[in-house]
């Protein structure tokens, strides 16, 4: 993004947090639900789907609570579980570049499917990429 484009984006961005800009609680729930619906139905995502239990309900809640706080909304995950240790929680799984890329494919599709505005997707994608890269524990 050019400096000029970044400045224009700043001027167009209302005060608040990403949580607010996306639409609050319901929008984050929609994102998480769409993410897990895609994960559960897209055959190309089988390798990362296999890292989850058959019942995705606990993960839907956990990711919703995590993203709520991560995006600047209520810190639900911290209130329930304490400070998150994402790398520790994912350590039992072999997470390589392909797994990272599959997760990104899934979250990008979910953001598009629930119609998150492109300017917010452009802001979120690098942050998600950084987070998923931290989860990698193998080549």
Q: What is the pLDDT of residue 139?
A: 82
Q: How far apart are CA 84 and CA 35, in angstroms?
A: 20
Q: Indicate the pTM of the whole model.
A: 0.87
Domains annotated on the chain, with CATH: 20-135 (1.10.490.10)
Sign of CA dihedral 54, 55, 61, 62: negative
What pLDDT, on a 0 to 100 scale, did the predictor assign at position 87? Answer: 82
Tens-of-pLDDT digits for all 139 residues of the chain?
566 655 655 556 668 999 999 999 999 999 999 999 999 999 999 999 999 999 999 999 999 999 999 999 999 999 999 888 888 888 889 999 999 999 999 999 999 999 999 999 999 999 999 999 999 999 8
CB 97 within 8 A of CB 139: yes
């Amino acid at each position: 993004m050019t400096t000029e484009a970044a400045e224009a984006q700043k001027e167009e961005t209302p005060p608040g947090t990403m949580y607010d800009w996306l639409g609050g609680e319901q929008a984050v729930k929609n994102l998480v639900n769409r993410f897990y619906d895609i994960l559960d139905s897209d055959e190309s995502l089988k390798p990362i789907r296999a890292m989850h239990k058959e019942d995705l309900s606990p993960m839907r809640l956990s990711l919703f609570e995590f993203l709520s706080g991560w995006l600047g909304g209520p810190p639900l995950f911290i209130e329930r579980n304490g400070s998150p240790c994402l790398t520790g929680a994912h350590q039992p799984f072999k997470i390589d570049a392909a797994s990272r890329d599959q997760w990104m494919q899934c979250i990008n599709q979910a953001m598009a499917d629930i119609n998150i505005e492109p300017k917010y997707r452009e802001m979120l994608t690098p942050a998600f990429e950084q987070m998923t890269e931290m989860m990698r524990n193998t080549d």
